Structures are given as structure tokens and as C-alpha cells.
A = this chain, B = another copy of it.
Amino acid sequence: MPRQLPTISDVAMLAGVSRATVSRVLNGSALVAERTRRRVQDAAASLRFKPNAQARLLAGGRSHTVILVHPATDRHAVTWYNMMLESGALRGCMRHGLQLEMNLVYPDPPHSYEHVLRPVDAMDCDGLILAPPFSDDPVLIALIQSRQMPVVCIAAGPATRPLTAGIGMDEHAAGFELGQYLLSLGHRRFAFLLGPRQHYAARERFDGFQRAVDAAGVSPSDVMTFPGRFDFDSGLEGFTAVRDSGFAPTVVICASDEMAAGALHGAHQARLRVPDDLSIVSFDDAPFAVLLSPPLTTIAQPVYAMAQKAADLIVAGIKGDHVPYELTKPRLVVRDSAGPVAR
């Protein structure tokens, strides 16, 4: 009963060519005369032809599924990062008629390697999207590539970036930009709550910040760092540590928005006013950043778009195209959690 959508046969007929030729044009094959290509494209456009993804993949003869490799956490928390990653990748895969499967693996190499490689060896997938920290691991990537399986990295470290297609933010530039902004506000005394030590992006965020601050001639004794793990609790703990240290910064820089939420909680408990008594800034621009009190000044990371792009890159990888790793520029989002320092 559904209306018949135009098929490749309709296009072929209208263009006066065979279905094979239409298929070639659709798939960008080089073996088509320019005039023929044009004719087919016109015919397709005038019919508003959309290829049927199911049929396309069926005919291609593959498993039609890509696997997103996520870190599993102890608590089965759904983080906004994972959600947007999943949602973006799902959307991207959908556009290509691909199934997406999640593979939540606990990151403890070499044990974790088994879990990642099992579906690869079983040929249960056509490609892998690696989220951090897996995207940072050259050994894992080599293992996958030795099995001829396309891999795409999200937020890869510098060691793995040359190895695969992928997409990430320029974390160093992000840290640098945030540093410059704080400097412009008059801040000269900084506490930095770090992310996980093994996490490349976390290190880069700090290094970029450090560079900005060094360039401004800030004394090393005026920046103090504290350990953290990207989560709310470590933000709260870090904030407490800052207070206990007696260091008295004018601003606390958090390696993630979750940590900033924790730090903010600490500030409220200490009855400090943000940003009047103390500024708090962070990285990510997670969806909740605008809901905190006060709304967070932060550096935006386009997770959803990156994940969607990752799906495109996997498709390119399946086709055998070689696409280089791509770096997205950071974007500062100014809201209310950072203010000028009182003089």
C-alpha cells in the first residue's frame, strides 16, 4: 500500500542507461563518462531519488554493523559524553544504513584487548569506532589493523593520530584559549584540577593552559595543580584540597564540566560566591553546563558532531579510502562562572 518510491530502475529508464551505470554514478565510480554521469544525476534529482540503504548494503554483502568501543565504568552511570557519543554515532550510522553496536569494555590492557578483538575476529562487524582511552592506545590499534579491520578514533592522542582516520578537538589550543581568557580577566593565581593522568586530552588541556600562562610571565609558583578523574566527586575533592592547601587562587580551572559541578558544590558548601569570591571554569560545554549555578564558562567540545563524523569516516574506511585524522578548533563559551579579578 505504500506509494512506490523511485528506484534505481526508474532513474536508469529516465536517463536511458542501465541500472549498473546508475549504481556506478551513485557510488562515485570513476568509470563513467562525464556526460553520462550528468544525465544520471539529473534524472535522479528530478525524481528525488534516494537509494534504499538496506538494499545497498544487502547487495554489498557485509555484516553492516559498526561497533562503538566505550569505556565501561564501575557504576553503570550513563554519562552525557557517552550518550552524545552513542547518539551521534547512531545517527551517523543510520544515514549509511549501518547497524551500531556498543561494546562497553573495562580499560585494563592487555586484558581489555580480548574484549575488543573478539567481534573483530568473529567478523561480526565492518569497522570499529574507538572512544578514549582506547583511541589513545597504539598497541590496540595495531592489533585491530593487523586484522584488516577499519578503525576510527575519537579524541585520539598524538601517538595514535597518525595511525588512523578520526576526529578530535585540539585540546592544547583549548587549554591555551582558556588560559588567555582568564589572563585577560586579570587572573594571576591559578588552581588547576587535572583529569585522569592516563587521559591524553586531560594532559593537553593543562599543557595548553600552562603555555598561555607561561607566555604571560606568570610565575610557576602561582599555578598549583591537583589530581582528578573528570567526575563530580573528584571535582569536589579537588576543591577541598585547594582550600586546605591555603593556596588561595582567584580561579579554579577544572579539566571537565563534571569536575566544575563538583567544585561548585564545594564552593556553595563553603559559602563562597562564584564568581565574586572565586571564578570556576572548565572544559566540554556539556548540556548541563547552562543549568549550574552559576552557568559555566567553558570550552565547547562538539561530541555529538564528532561521533556523527566518525560514522562517515568508518564508511570511508570500509570503502578503502585513506582519510587523515581531523582536528576541530575549540570554542570558548562565556557565561557567568568567571569574572574579572578584583584589584
Cβ contacts under 8 Å, A264 to chain B: 293
Which of the residues B58, B122, B148, B261 comes within 8 Å of A54, measured between beta carbons?
A: B58
Given contacts A57-B54, A58-B52, contact A148 B94 (CB under 8 A): no
Residue pair B1, A258 in contact (C-beta under 8 Å): no
Given contacts A87-B87, A90-B87, A232-B290, contact A63 B265 (CB under 8 A): no
Cβ contacts under 8 Å, A265 to chain B: 293-294
* Smallest beta-carbon distance A92→chain B, Å: 11
Q: Any chain B CB within 8 A of the CB of A31?
A: no
* Smallest beta-carbon distance A204→chain B, Å: 24
Within 8 A of B (CB), among A50-93: 52-55, 57-58, 61-64, 78-80, 83-84, 86-87, 90-91
Which of the residues B84, B288, B294 comes within 8 Å of A288, measured between beta carbons?
A: B288
Residue pair B291, A63 in contact (C-beta under 8 Å): no
Report the separation of the CA atoms of residues A94 and B126 in the bound assembly, to the nearest whole angstrom.
Answer: 16
Which of the residues B78, B90, B291 comes within 8 Å of A292, measured between beta carbons?
A: B291
Residue pair A63, B5 in contact (C-beta under 8 Å): yes
Cβ contacts under 8 Å, A216 to chain B: none
Report the separation of the CA atoms of residues A19 and B253 in the bound assembly, to the nearest whole angstrom.
Answer: 63
Within 8 A of B (CB), among A148-207: 148
Residue pair B287, A54 in contact (C-beta under 8 Å): no
Q: Any chain B CB within 8 A of the CB of A99?
A: yes
Cβ contacts under 8 Å, A148 to chain B: 1
Given contacts A83-B83, A261-B291, contact A54 B3 (CB under 8 A): no
* Smallest beta-carbon distance A114→chain B, Å: 18
Q: Per-position contact with B for A277-294: 1 when CB-CB < 8 Å, else 0?
A: 000000000011011111
Q: Any chain B CB within 8 A of the CB of A110?
A: no
Residue pair B268, A123 in contact (C-beta under 8 Å): no
Residue pair A53, B99 in contact (C-beta under 8 Å): yes
Q: Any chain B CB within 8 A of the CB of A97?
A: yes
Cβ contacts under 8 Å, A87 to chain B: 83, 86-87, 90
Scoring A53, A84, A262 by chain B CB atoms within 10 A of each residue's CB, the highest score goes to: A53
- A-B contact sample (15 more), CB < 8 A, given A53-B54, A54-B58, A232-B290: A3-B123, A5-B123, A53-B99, A54-B55, A78-B287, A80-B80, A83-B287, A86-B87, A232-B291, A258-B291, A261-B291, A261-B292, A287-B287, A292-B292, A292-B293
Interface residues of A (CB under 8 A from B): 1-3, 5, 52-55, 57-58, 61-64, 78-80, 83-84, 86-87, 90-91, 94, 97, 99-100, 122-123, 126, 148, 232, 258, 261-262, 264-265, 268-269, 271, 287-288, 290-294, 304
Of the A-B pairs whose beta carbons lie under 8 Å apart in the complex, a sample of 13, sorted by A's number, is A1-B123, A3-B122, A54-B57, A78-B287, A79-B287, A80-B287, A90-B91, A232-B291, A268-B268, A287-B288, A288-B291, A292-B292, A292-B293
| The 10 residue pairs across chains A and B that have the minimum distance between CB atoms | A288-B288, A3-B123, A265-B293, A261-B291, A54-B54, A87-B87, A2-B123, A90-B90, A268-B293, A54-B58
